[in-house]
Amino acid sequence: MKKQTLVSGLRASSEPHIGNYLGAIRQFLKYQELHDCNFFIADLHTLTTPFEPKELRKNALEVAADYIALGLDPKKSTLYLQSQVAEHAELAWIFNCITPLGELYRMTQFKDKTGSANKESVNAGLLNYPVLMAADILLYKAEIVPVGEDQVQHLELARVIAKKFNNQFGKTFPEPKALLESETARIMSLNDPEKKMSKTGGQGILINDSPAEIQRKLRKAVTATDATGKSKGVDNLFRLLREFGNKEQIQFFENAYQENTIKFSELKDILSEDIAHYFAPFREKRKELLNSPEYIAEALADGAEKARERARATMQEVKKKVGLL
Ligand code: ADP
Ligand code: TRP
Protein backbone atom coordinates (compact mmCIF):
# COMPACT_ATOMS: atom_id res chain seq x y z
CA MET A 1 0.00 0.00 0.00
CA LYS A 2 1.25 3.48 -0.86
CA LYS A 3 2.09 5.57 2.18
CA GLN A 4 -0.29 8.52 2.34
CA THR A 5 -0.29 11.70 4.35
CA LEU A 6 -2.85 11.64 7.13
CA VAL A 7 -4.04 14.36 9.52
CA SER A 8 -6.47 14.26 12.40
CA GLY A 9 -7.17 16.19 15.58
CA LEU A 10 -9.05 16.08 18.82
CA ARG A 11 -10.34 19.13 20.62
CA ALA A 12 -8.88 19.86 24.03
CA SER A 13 -12.21 20.46 25.77
CA SER A 14 -11.93 17.58 28.21
CA GLU A 15 -10.91 13.98 28.46
CA PRO A 16 -11.72 11.74 25.49
CA HIS A 17 -14.74 9.45 25.77
CA ILE A 18 -15.19 5.99 24.30
CA GLY A 19 -16.89 7.54 21.24
CA ASN A 20 -13.70 9.46 20.47
CA TYR A 21 -11.73 6.28 21.02
CA LEU A 22 -13.85 4.02 18.80
CA GLY A 23 -14.61 6.66 16.16
CA ALA A 24 -11.18 8.21 15.88
CA ILE A 25 -8.26 7.35 18.18
CA ARG A 26 -8.36 3.61 17.63
CA GLN A 27 -8.00 4.23 13.92
CA PHE A 28 -5.04 6.52 14.56
CA LEU A 29 -3.22 3.63 16.23
CA LYS A 30 -3.70 1.44 13.21
CA TYR A 31 -2.70 4.08 10.70
CA GLN A 32 0.44 5.20 12.48
CA GLU A 33 1.99 1.93 11.33
CA LEU A 34 0.98 2.51 7.71
CA HIS A 35 0.98 6.18 6.86
CA ASP A 36 2.74 9.45 7.35
CA CYS A 37 0.63 10.62 10.31
CA ASN A 38 0.09 14.04 11.86
CA PHE A 39 -2.03 14.13 15.01
CA PHE A 40 -2.72 17.31 16.88
CA ILE A 41 -4.68 18.74 19.76
CA ALA A 42 -7.05 21.29 18.33
CA ASP A 43 -6.69 23.87 21.08
CA LEU A 44 -7.61 26.76 18.75
CA HIS A 45 -10.88 25.03 17.93
CA THR A 46 -11.47 24.63 21.65
CA LEU A 47 -11.66 28.43 21.95
CA THR A 48 -14.93 28.45 20.00
CA THR A 49 -16.92 27.13 22.99
CA PRO A 50 -16.75 28.47 26.57
CA PHE A 51 -13.45 27.68 28.29
CA GLU A 52 -11.27 28.54 31.28
CA PRO A 53 -7.64 29.41 30.39
CA LYS A 54 -6.22 27.32 33.24
CA GLU A 55 -8.38 24.35 32.35
CA LEU A 56 -7.55 24.66 28.66
CA ARG A 57 -3.82 24.41 29.35
CA LYS A 58 -4.29 21.46 31.67
CA ASN A 59 -6.66 19.67 29.32
CA ALA A 60 -4.37 20.11 26.32
CA LEU A 61 -1.53 18.37 28.18
CA GLU A 62 -3.88 15.68 29.43
CA VAL A 63 -5.21 14.97 25.95
CA ALA A 64 -1.60 14.61 24.80
CA ALA A 65 -1.01 12.16 27.66
CA ASP A 66 -4.17 10.31 26.61
CA TYR A 67 -2.97 9.99 23.04
CA ILE A 68 0.41 8.64 24.14
CA ALA A 69 -1.01 6.36 26.84
CA LEU A 70 -3.41 4.85 24.30
CA GLY A 71 -0.46 3.93 22.12
CA LEU A 72 0.31 6.85 19.83
CA ASP A 73 4.04 6.92 19.47
CA PRO A 74 5.52 10.41 19.02
CA LYS A 75 8.45 8.76 17.27
CA LYS A 76 6.23 7.21 14.60
CA SER A 77 3.78 10.09 14.18
CA THR A 78 4.02 13.85 14.43
CA LEU A 79 2.14 14.84 17.58
CA TYR A 80 1.66 18.53 18.41
CA LEU A 81 -0.53 21.35 19.62
CA GLN A 82 -2.33 23.23 16.85
CA SER A 83 -1.60 26.61 18.47
CA GLN A 84 2.15 25.92 18.43
CA VAL A 85 2.19 25.90 14.65
CA ALA A 86 1.10 29.44 13.74
CA GLU A 87 0.67 28.52 10.07
CA HIS A 88 -2.68 26.84 10.88
CA ALA A 89 -4.21 30.22 11.69
CA GLU A 90 -2.38 31.92 8.82
CA LEU A 91 -3.71 29.53 6.20
CA ALA A 92 -7.17 29.64 7.77
CA TRP A 93 -7.27 33.40 7.17
CA ILE A 94 -6.50 32.97 3.48
CA PHE A 95 -9.16 30.24 3.25
CA ASN A 96 -11.66 32.52 5.02
CA CYS A 97 -11.25 34.93 2.14
CA ILE A 98 -12.28 32.36 -0.48
CA THR A 99 -15.07 30.60 1.48
CA PRO A 100 -18.65 31.73 0.82
CA LEU A 101 -20.59 32.47 4.01
CA GLY A 102 -23.44 30.31 2.72
CA GLU A 103 -21.24 27.21 2.95
CA LEU A 104 -20.58 27.96 6.61
CA TYR A 105 -24.16 28.75 7.57
CA ARG A 106 -25.35 25.38 6.35
CA MET A 107 -22.93 23.32 8.48
CA THR A 108 -24.90 21.02 10.78
CA GLN A 109 -22.48 21.41 13.67
CA PHE A 110 -22.80 25.20 13.50
CA LYS A 111 -26.58 24.91 13.51
CA ASP A 112 -26.52 22.41 16.40
CA LYS A 113 -24.11 24.44 18.48
CA THR A 114 -25.87 27.75 17.99
CA GLY A 115 -29.34 26.27 18.33
CA SER A 116 -31.89 28.89 19.17
CA ALA A 117 -29.24 31.43 20.27
CA ASN A 118 -29.40 34.85 18.70
CA LYS A 119 -27.00 34.55 15.74
CA GLU A 120 -25.87 38.15 16.24
CA SER A 121 -24.13 37.22 19.48
CA VAL A 122 -22.58 33.90 18.43
CA ASN A 123 -18.80 34.16 18.17
CA ALA A 124 -17.43 34.23 14.62
CA GLY A 125 -14.98 31.44 15.49
CA LEU A 126 -17.85 29.00 15.71
CA LEU A 127 -18.89 29.86 12.17
CA ASN A 128 -15.33 29.74 10.85
CA TYR A 129 -14.53 26.51 12.69
CA PRO A 130 -14.57 24.34 9.53
CA VAL A 131 -12.31 26.80 7.69
CA LEU A 132 -9.64 26.36 10.34
CA MET A 133 -10.21 22.64 10.08
CA ALA A 134 -9.60 22.78 6.30
CA ALA A 135 -6.35 24.64 7.04
CA ASP A 136 -5.33 21.96 9.60
CA ILE A 137 -5.63 19.35 6.89
CA LEU A 138 -4.44 21.12 3.76
CA LEU A 139 -1.41 22.68 5.42
CA TYR A 140 0.13 19.21 5.30
CA LYS A 141 -1.45 18.38 1.94
CA ALA A 142 -3.12 15.44 3.66
CA GLU A 143 -5.00 12.92 1.56
CA ILE A 144 -6.79 11.04 4.33
CA VAL A 145 -8.48 12.12 7.55
CA PRO A 146 -9.79 9.54 10.05
CA VAL A 147 -12.80 11.04 11.87
CA GLY A 148 -16.19 10.15 13.29
CA GLU A 149 -19.33 10.71 11.27
CA ASP A 150 -20.06 14.13 12.73
CA GLN A 151 -17.01 15.55 10.94
CA VAL A 152 -17.78 14.27 7.44
CA GLN A 153 -19.56 17.43 6.39
CA HIS A 154 -16.56 19.49 7.48
CA LEU A 155 -14.37 17.27 5.35
CA GLU A 156 -16.59 17.93 2.37
CA LEU A 157 -16.08 21.61 2.94
CA ALA A 158 -12.30 21.10 3.10
CA ARG A 159 -12.56 19.54 -0.37
CA VAL A 160 -14.62 22.46 -1.63
CA ILE A 161 -12.00 24.88 -0.29
CA ALA A 162 -9.12 22.87 -1.82
CA LYS A 163 -10.87 22.84 -5.20
CA LYS A 164 -11.64 26.53 -5.03
CA PHE A 165 -8.07 27.42 -4.14
CA ASN A 166 -6.69 25.18 -6.90
CA ASN A 167 -9.03 26.70 -9.48
CA GLN A 168 -8.26 30.22 -8.49
CA PHE A 169 -4.50 29.99 -7.89
CA GLY A 170 -3.28 26.81 -9.59
CA LYS A 171 -3.11 23.21 -8.42
CA THR A 172 -1.77 23.21 -4.86
CA PHE A 173 -3.82 20.92 -2.63
CA PRO A 174 -5.08 17.34 -2.90
CA GLU A 175 -8.78 16.83 -2.07
CA PRO A 176 -8.72 15.04 1.31
CA LYS A 177 -11.00 12.10 2.08
CA ALA A 178 -12.64 11.14 5.38
CA LEU A 179 -11.81 7.68 6.67
CA LEU A 180 -14.72 6.21 8.60
CA GLU A 181 -14.96 3.06 10.65
CA SER A 182 -18.48 2.07 9.65
CA GLU A 183 -19.56 0.29 12.86
CA THR A 184 -18.29 2.85 15.31
CA ALA A 185 -18.39 6.16 13.46
CA ARG A 186 -21.24 7.31 15.68
CA ILE A 187 -21.46 6.08 19.26
CA MET A 188 -24.58 7.42 20.90
CA SER A 189 -25.07 9.14 24.23
CA LEU A 190 -26.12 6.75 27.01
CA ASN A 191 -28.89 8.87 28.44
CA ASP A 192 -30.10 10.37 25.17
CA PRO A 193 -29.41 7.85 22.41
CA GLU A 194 -30.84 10.21 19.80
CA LYS A 195 -27.67 12.27 20.19
CA LYS A 196 -24.04 11.31 19.68
CA MET A 197 -21.89 10.75 22.75
CA SER A 198 -19.98 13.99 23.18
CA LYS A 199 -17.50 15.83 25.37
CA THR A 200 -19.55 18.88 25.91
CA GLY A 201 -22.80 17.08 26.72
CA GLY A 202 -21.29 15.14 29.63
CA GLN A 203 -23.19 11.94 28.83
CA GLY A 204 -20.17 9.92 27.83
CA ILE A 205 -18.03 7.22 29.40
CA LEU A 206 -14.57 8.74 29.61
CA ILE A 207 -11.70 6.44 28.80
CA ASN A 208 -10.18 7.44 32.12
CA ASP A 209 -13.32 6.77 34.19
CA SER A 210 -12.86 4.45 37.17
CA PRO A 211 -14.59 1.04 37.03
CA ALA A 212 -17.20 2.29 39.53
CA GLU A 213 -17.88 5.39 37.45
CA ILE A 214 -18.29 3.34 34.27
CA GLN A 215 -20.75 1.09 36.04
CA ARG A 216 -22.68 4.03 37.46
CA LYS A 217 -23.02 5.63 34.02
CA LEU A 218 -23.94 2.42 32.25
CA ARG A 219 -26.58 1.51 34.82
CA LYS A 220 -28.38 4.72 33.89
CA ALA A 221 -28.24 4.00 30.14
CA VAL A 222 -31.62 4.30 28.44
CA THR A 223 -32.99 1.11 26.82
CA ALA A 224 -36.53 2.24 26.03
CA THR A 225 -38.04 1.10 22.73
CA ASP A 226 -40.00 3.20 20.25
CA ALA A 227 -43.42 2.45 18.75
CA THR A 228 -41.90 0.06 16.19
CA GLY A 229 -40.08 -1.91 18.89
CA LYS A 230 -36.68 -0.50 17.96
CA SER A 231 -34.34 1.04 20.48
CA LYS A 232 -31.32 3.19 19.67
CA GLY A 233 -30.16 2.80 23.26
CA VAL A 234 -30.16 -1.01 23.00
CA ASP A 235 -28.41 -0.90 19.60
CA ASN A 236 -25.77 1.32 21.14
CA LEU A 237 -25.21 -1.06 24.09
CA PHE A 238 -24.84 -3.99 21.70
CA ARG A 239 -22.42 -2.01 19.56
CA LEU A 240 -20.30 -1.40 22.65
CA LEU A 241 -20.54 -5.04 23.70
CA ARG A 242 -19.31 -6.12 20.26
CA GLU A 243 -16.30 -3.83 20.70
CA PHE A 244 -15.38 -4.56 24.29
CA GLY A 245 -16.96 -7.93 25.12
CA ASN A 246 -15.80 -11.45 24.33
CA LYS A 247 -17.43 -13.85 21.88
CA GLU A 248 -19.36 -15.81 24.52
CA GLN A 249 -20.83 -12.69 26.07
CA ILE A 250 -21.89 -11.32 22.69
CA GLN A 251 -23.48 -14.61 21.71
CA PHE A 252 -25.21 -14.98 25.08
CA PHE A 253 -26.81 -11.54 25.09
CA GLU A 254 -27.73 -11.64 21.40
CA ASN A 255 -29.56 -14.91 22.00
CA ALA A 256 -31.21 -13.60 25.13
CA TYR A 257 -32.34 -10.54 23.20
CA GLN A 258 -33.83 -12.69 20.42
CA GLU A 259 -35.61 -14.84 23.00
CA ASN A 260 -36.79 -11.86 24.98
CA THR A 261 -35.17 -13.11 28.16
CA ILE A 262 -32.50 -10.45 28.29
CA LYS A 263 -31.78 -8.66 31.56
CA PHE A 264 -30.33 -5.30 30.65
CA SER A 265 -29.01 -4.80 34.18
CA GLU A 266 -26.86 -7.88 33.64
CA LEU A 267 -25.69 -6.74 30.21
CA LYS A 268 -24.80 -3.32 31.60
CA ASP A 269 -22.76 -4.75 34.48
CA ILE A 270 -20.85 -7.15 32.23
CA LEU A 271 -20.22 -4.37 29.74
CA SER A 272 -18.92 -2.05 32.45
CA GLU A 273 -16.48 -4.71 33.61
CA ASP A 274 -15.32 -5.22 30.02
CA ILE A 275 -14.78 -1.52 29.39
CA ALA A 276 -13.00 -1.02 32.73
CA HIS A 277 -10.75 -3.99 31.97
CA TYR A 278 -10.03 -2.84 28.42
CA PHE A 279 -8.78 0.57 29.56
CA ALA A 280 -6.98 -0.59 32.73
CA PRO A 281 -3.45 -0.53 31.21
CA PHE A 282 -4.25 2.86 29.70
CA ARG A 283 -5.23 4.31 33.11
CA GLU A 284 -1.92 3.15 34.58
CA LYS A 285 0.17 4.51 31.73
CA ARG A 286 -1.67 7.83 31.80
CA LYS A 287 -0.97 8.24 35.51
CA GLU A 288 2.71 7.54 34.91
CA LEU A 289 2.88 10.04 32.06
CA LEU A 290 1.18 12.78 34.02
CA ASN A 291 3.86 12.33 36.67
CA SER A 292 6.42 13.43 34.11
CA PRO A 293 4.80 16.38 32.33
CA GLU A 294 8.23 17.43 31.04
CA TYR A 295 8.26 14.31 28.83
CA ILE A 296 4.91 15.30 27.31
CA ALA A 297 5.97 18.91 26.82
CA GLU A 298 9.13 17.76 25.11
CA ALA A 299 7.32 15.35 22.81
CA LEU A 300 4.91 18.16 21.84
CA ALA A 301 7.75 20.63 21.23
CA ASP A 302 9.54 18.13 18.99
CA GLY A 303 6.30 17.42 17.15
CA ALA A 304 5.60 21.14 16.61
CA GLU A 305 9.11 21.60 15.24
CA LYS A 306 8.58 18.81 12.73
CA ALA A 307 5.13 20.06 11.77
CA ARG A 308 6.34 23.64 11.35
CA GLU A 309 8.89 22.63 8.78
CA ARG A 310 6.23 21.27 6.47
CA ALA A 311 3.76 24.00 7.31
CA ARG A 312 6.30 26.66 6.36
CA ALA A 313 6.95 25.09 2.98
CA THR A 314 3.21 25.02 2.19
CA MET A 315 2.75 28.61 3.33
CA GLN A 316 5.61 29.81 1.15
CA GLU A 317 3.98 28.20 -1.85
CA VAL A 318 0.52 29.52 -0.92
CA LYS A 319 1.69 33.07 -0.32
CA LYS A 320 3.52 33.15 -3.60
CA LYS A 321 0.48 31.88 -5.50
CA VAL A 322 -1.88 34.31 -3.80
CA GLY A 323 0.41 37.24 -4.44
CA LEU A 324 1.54 37.90 -0.88
CA LEU A 325 5.19 38.85 -0.43
P1 ADP B 1 -16.50 15.73 20.85
O2 ADP B 1 -17.27 15.79 19.57
O3 ADP B 1 -16.94 14.66 21.76
O4 ADP B 1 -16.38 17.06 21.52
P5 ADP B 1 -14.03 15.95 19.40
O6 ADP B 1 -14.71 17.06 18.72
O7 ADP B 1 -12.71 16.24 19.99
O8 ADP B 1 -15.00 15.33 20.48
O9 ADP B 1 -13.89 14.73 18.38
C10 ADP B 1 -12.71 14.01 18.16
C11 ADP B 1 -12.94 12.87 17.18
O12 ADP B 1 -13.85 11.91 17.74
C13 ADP B 1 -13.56 13.28 15.84
O14 ADP B 1 -12.98 12.51 14.81
C15 ADP B 1 -15.00 12.93 15.99
O16 ADP B 1 -15.64 12.68 14.75
C17 ADP B 1 -14.92 11.66 16.84
N18 ADP B 1 -16.14 11.48 17.64
C19 ADP B 1 -16.67 12.36 18.50
N20 ADP B 1 -17.80 11.88 19.07
C21 ADP B 1 -17.98 10.62 18.54
C22 ADP B 1 -18.95 9.61 18.74
N23 ADP B 1 -19.95 9.79 19.57
N24 ADP B 1 -18.83 8.47 18.01
C25 ADP B 1 -17.80 8.27 17.17
N26 ADP B 1 -16.84 9.20 16.94
C27 ADP B 1 -16.91 10.36 17.62
N1 TRP C 1 -13.31 19.33 14.45
C2 TRP C 1 -12.84 18.06 14.91
C3 TRP C 1 -13.83 17.55 15.95
O4 TRP C 1 -14.55 18.29 16.55
C5 TRP C 1 -11.43 18.14 15.47
C6 TRP C 1 -10.53 18.61 14.39
C7 TRP C 1 -10.02 19.86 14.24
C8 TRP C 1 -10.08 17.84 13.28
N9 TRP C 1 -9.25 19.92 13.12
C10 TRP C 1 -9.27 18.72 12.51
C11 TRP C 1 -10.26 16.52 12.90
C12 TRP C 1 -8.66 18.28 11.33
C13 TRP C 1 -9.65 16.10 11.71
C14 TRP C 1 -8.86 16.97 10.94
O15 TRP C 1 -13.87 16.41 16.18
Taking only the tens place, the pLDDT of each residue in 261-309 is 999 999 999 999 999 999 999 999 999 999 999 999 999 999 999 999 9
Taking only the tens place, the pLDDT of each residue in 109-131 is 999 999 888 888 899 999 999 99
Taking only the tens place, the pLDDT of each residue in 152-170 is 999 999 999 999 999 999 9
Q: How far apart (Å, rounded) are the C-alpha atoms in residues 271 and 22?
A: 15
Cα of 8 from ligand 1 centre, angstroms: 11
Cα of 251 from ligand 2 centre, angstroms: 36
Q: What is the predicted pLDDT for the residue at 202?
A: 56
Taking only the tens place, the pLDDT of each residue in 22-80 is 999 999 999 999 999 999 999 999 999 999 999 999 999 999 999 999 999 999 999 99
The secondary structure element, H or E, covering residue 42 is: strand 36-42
Q: How far apart (Å, rounded) are the C-alpha atoms in residues 317 and 172?
A: 8
CB atoms within 10 A of CB 64: 27
Q: Whose atoms come closest to the Cα of 195: which ligand?
A: 1
Q: How far apart (Å, rounded) are the C-alpha atoms in residues 231 and 41?
A: 35
Q: Whose atoms come closest to the Cα of 136: which ligand?
A: 2
CB 258 within 8 A of CB 212: no
Q: How far apart (Å, rounded) are the C-alpha atoms in residues 44 and 52?
A: 13
**Is 199 an active-site residue?**
yes
> Of 160, 145, 156, nearest to 23 (Cα)?
145
CATH superfamily of 209-278: Tyrosyl-Transfer RNA Synthetase (1.10.240.10)
pTM of the model: 0.91
Nearest CA to ligand 2 atom 15: 10
Taking CA atoms, 196 is separated from 126, 154, 178, 205, 214, in Å, by 19, 16, 18, 12, 18
Q: What is the predicted pLDDT for the residue at 47?
A: 96
Nearest CA to ligand 1 atom 2: 198
CATH superfamily of 5-184+293-322: HUPs (3.40.50.620)
Q: What is the predicted pLDDT for the residue at 200?
A: 62
Mean pLDDT, rounded, for 187-201: 86
Cα-to-chain-centroid distance, residue 300: 18
CB 244 within 8 A of CB 275: yes
